[in-house]
Structure 1
Amino acid sequence: MQLNSYDDFTPLREIIVGSAANYLSHDRDLTFELFHYDNLTGYGTELANPRLSAGGSGAAESWKIKRRYTEELHEDVETLAATIASLGVTVHRPLPLPPDPAPIAGLGWQAAPTPALNIRDNTLILGDEIIETPPAVRSRYLETRLLAPVFQRYLQAGARWTTMPRPLLTDLSFDLSYARDSMSVRRLEVIEDPQPSPYDVGLEMMIDAAQVLRLGRDLLINIAHENHRMAVDWLERHLEGRYRIHRVNRMADGHIDSMLLAVRPGLFLARNENLRNLLPEELRSWKFLIPPPPDPGDFPVYDDGDLVLTSPYIDLNVLSIDEDTVLVNEDCTGVRKLLEAEGITAIPVRHRHRRLFGGGFHCFTLDTRRDGGCEDYLS
């Protein structure tokens, strides 16, 4: 059990697959609304999500998810884990969230915890190092504790284990410029009315590992606002001499693994051609595979009370087993056909409610051992 992961495409040997057990609701507060801002407001999408009750950003509002959706999500995640294992990959799992977990709390806030499902978000694997990133959503503050038994085994086998400074997550910890610059016509009152706290220390570092595209010794990191920039400053100091960091300005509000993924050296799966201009010069010559626009018929139809958290492009969020084998949502025929035309085996796996739970196959997994090393793919 040896940690070694520098990229998303060399042959996969070990992986952690998240758990959807007891994912019954979303804890909606300022941190949740800000994190999912683009999709909650419908900016750039067709969405018209239900709003939070007016009245400031104090207490969180629990948004229940229909039991059928949670059960089907659990079935699909377990199928994903079994499919990966059937390909000869060792699969590790986090602790499941208990059915009635106690609330978690920080200084001046309380939240219902989230299961360790989208485990790509709060942990960055760089070679032989586990780096827990500073979360931006209160309900996810202790999510990586559900991964601690797996991390402990890697530590005992020789891995390094680092935790970035943890934010206090008061309302005034957040740079609101991205939301305020978005020009959305459906602004969220909860974001417009941040409340002061006796624990305020000013803006704090926050970043998710899903904002990082790993290419051997090079890291492309999306920065949408000051919280992200502060975190990247810390990473640059921590990784000095080991990795080269390339800052990408506002490719998205946060995560980029449904915008741009490296399928193999020289080949990106990308949402659109315009992303090329945001990349370092050395990567602009790579080939871009751009799927056709998503077909609305590929997705379930939800009720007005259902909270949709991703754009229809979530199915670009694929998982590579190696340079010639990729797991793809069985409902997304456009991505499958595009990869197959490139000579890549696209293995279909069911994932029905990806828009309700904010993640695809790349989000649900954390690859811990691949054959690749700290290569220089930019030279």
Structure 2
Amino acid sequence: MSNSSTPLVSADTEWSPLRSVILGHAANSCFPQAPSHMIKATMPEEHFEEFRPNHRFPAELLQRADEELAQFASILQEHGVRVYRPKSVDWSKTGGYTAAMPRDGLLTVGNTIVEACFAWECRQQEIDLAFANILDELEKDSSVKVVRAPKVARPEALYEGIGSRQDGAHEWAINNSRPAFDAADFLRFGKTLIGQLSNVTNEKGVEYLQNAVPEGYTVELLDVTDEHAMHIDATILPLRQGLLIYNPERVTEAALRKHKVFQKWDLHAYPHLPSPRESPPRYMTSGWLLMNVLSLDEKKVVVEAGDVEFAEYIKSFGFEPIMCPFQHVNSIGGSFHCATVDLVRQGD
């Protein structure tokens, strides 16, 4: 049990000193399954054929990814961060995806952990199978609240009517028939959460999240220009209070300035194009994943070892990049922010 000076769950920002995280596992991960229109809306075209039932990622890639995760865990522990790891699951036997990306499914807001209402049917059991033991342990503390996602009777209902619009306007890959959201579509800025509608997050999902977070917190939606939107943590990157880097291909400064929380912030468009990479393949992401870093505090940031140009860029703002190889984790769908759920950030 915790006491008032050592909470088990307390996080209101993305940058305050990190003290406790959940960190994923890559073993036994499979390519996620989803309807073809969802894959086309969210995944790189050259890899469409990989997204078929119970199709494992290459074994060597997963082994290398888990080695990278182990190195990342050591870095976190060396900086005084407590690390929780999930159960091992054979995702080919469950029709699931991975335990490597817990940020997609869990969002810490204050003393509350909210489980996502996944749009993708293959992810419906992900938290229960891999992370429930961690959540159960945390929930034994009376100060911690866990909001579990409702069970979905007909996941396929989210896709009904998609493609029937006649006006030519952009249409997301899901409808608004029931709440759907990925936790990775939202970031914390004190009492304000900034999120986006996307191919996995709808209006009812945003309403659900607003009702699930503690009293006093508000959820606001950022106007993004990315029709392939799925997770916001390669679109905007708050590095510390008052400083944010953004992806100019997905959002504008004008859109950011509409939010009161950003009106006095320094906002910087990342000035370089990400470098292409063929090996290991980016099966599920673009090069903009370089923005998907993890802040240990307002000075230290964990950056992928190959993203030297990005590391030099954030150095210009006074940051110390901690370089960690993570390209094989990148291959299965995310980077440092995706692979962690920050449970405690000191001083939030």
Which bin holds the TM-score, normalised by the shorter protein? 0.7 to 0.9
TM-score normalised by length of structure 2: 0.85
- The CA distance in 2 between the partners of 1:102 and 1:50, in whole Å, is 22
Q: Distance in 1 between matches of 2:38 and 2:122?
A: 13
- 2:24–2:99 Cα contact (<8 Å) kept: yes
Matched to 2:131, the amino acid is L
1:8-32 Cα shifts (integer Å, max 9, x gaps): 1001111111111222x314331x8
Q: Which residue of structure 2 aligns with residue 268 of structure 1?
A: 244
Question: Residue 254 of structure 2 aligns with which residue?
Answer: 277
CA contact (8 A) 1:120 1:210 kept: yes
Aligned to 2:72: 80
> What residue identity is the alignment partner of 2:292?
N
Q: In the alignment, is the contact (CA less than 8 A) between 1:5 and 1:370 conserved in 2?
A: yes
Moved more, 135-144 or 270-279: 270-279
Between the aligned partners of 2:189 and 2:330, the Cα distance in structure 1 is 28
Question: What SS does the aligned partner of 2:31 have?
Answer: strand
**CA drift at 1:295:** 1.7
Confirm or deny: 8 A CA contact 2:117 2:182 kept in the other structure.
yes
Aligned to 2:272: 292
| Superposed displacement of residue 91, structure 1 | 0.8
Does 1:115 find its partner at 2:98? yes
- Name the CA distance, whole Å, in 2 between partners of 1:318 and 1:91: 17
Could you say what secondary structure the match of 1:322 adopts?
A: coil
Separation of aligned partners in 1, 2:282 and 2:21 = 29
Give how far 1:135 is off: 0.8
Q: Go from structure 1 to structure 2 and tell me whether the alpha carbon gap of 1:36 and 1:142 turns closer, same or farther (over 3 Å shift).
A: farther
Trace 1:208-357 onto structure 2 (pairs within 5 A): 208-224=182-198, 228-239=202-213, 241-250=215-224, 252=226, 253-272=229-248, 274-279=251-256, 280-282=258-260, 283-289=262-268, 290-296=270-276, 299-301=277-279, 308-357=283-332
Structure 1 residue aligned with 2:117: 134
Q: Which residue of 2 aligns with 1:197?
A: none
3-state SS of paired residue (2:285): coil
Structure 1 portions without partners, runs of 5+: 42-47, 54-59, 104-111, 184-190, 195-200, 374-379
CA contact (8 A) 1:321 1:327 kept: yes
Deviation at 1:308, TM superposition (A): 1.6
> Which residue is 1:5 aligned to?
11
Q: Tell me how far apart the structure 2 counterparts of residues 35 and 275 of structure 1 sit (CA, whole Å).
A: 26
The whole-number CA distance in structure 2 between the counterparts of 1:225 and 1:65 is: 23
Alignment of 1:66-77 (within 5 A): 66-77=58-69
**Residues 202 and 335 of structure 1, relative CA distance in 2, 3 Å threshold:** closer
Task: State the AA in 2 paired with 1:4.
Answer: S
CA RMSD of aligned residues (A): 3.0
Q: What is the identity, as a one-letter code, of the residue corresponding to 1:19?
A: H
2-structure distance, mates of 1:78, 1:181? 45
What is the alpha-carbon distance in structure 1 between the residues aligned to residue 180 and residue 151 of structure 2? 8
Q: Which amino acid aligns with 1:144?
A: I
Tell me if 1:157 matches 2:141. Answer: yes
Distance verdict in 2 for CA 1:251–1:12, change over 3 Å: farther
Q: Is the 8 A contact 2:10 2:111 kept in 1?
A: yes
Map of 2:93 onto structure 1: 102
Q: Deviations over 1:45-77 (max 9, x none)?
A: xxx234479xxxxxx533342222111111111
Does the 8 Å CA contact 2:31/2:57 hold for their aligned counterparts?
yes
Consecutive unaligned residues in structure 2, runs of 5 or more: 3-7
Contact 2:9 2:344 in 1 (8 A): yes
**TM-aligned CA distance change 1:162 to 1:311, over 3 Å:** same
SS of residue in 1 equivalent to 2:14: coil
SS at the partner of 1:75?
helix
- Misfit runs of 4+, over 4 Å: 177-183
SS in 2 for 1:161: strand
Normalised by the length of structure 1, the TM-score is 0.79
CA separation of 1:72 and 1:214: change in aligned 2, threshold 3 A: same
Name whichever of 144-153 and 270-279 sits farther off. Answer: 270-279
Distance 1:156 1:229 in 2: 32
Displacement, 1:123?
Answer: 0.8
Q: Are the structure 2 counterparts of residues 315 and 3 from structure 1 closer, same or farther at C-alpha, using a change threshold of 3 Å?
A: same
Letter of the structure 1 residue corresponding to residue 47 of structure 2 = N
How many Å apart are 1:182 and its aligned residue?
Answer: 5.5
Q: Please tell me whether the aligned partners of residues 136 and 169 of structure 1 are also in contact (alpha carbons under 8 angstroms).
A: no
CA contact (8 A) 2:188 2:194 kept: yes
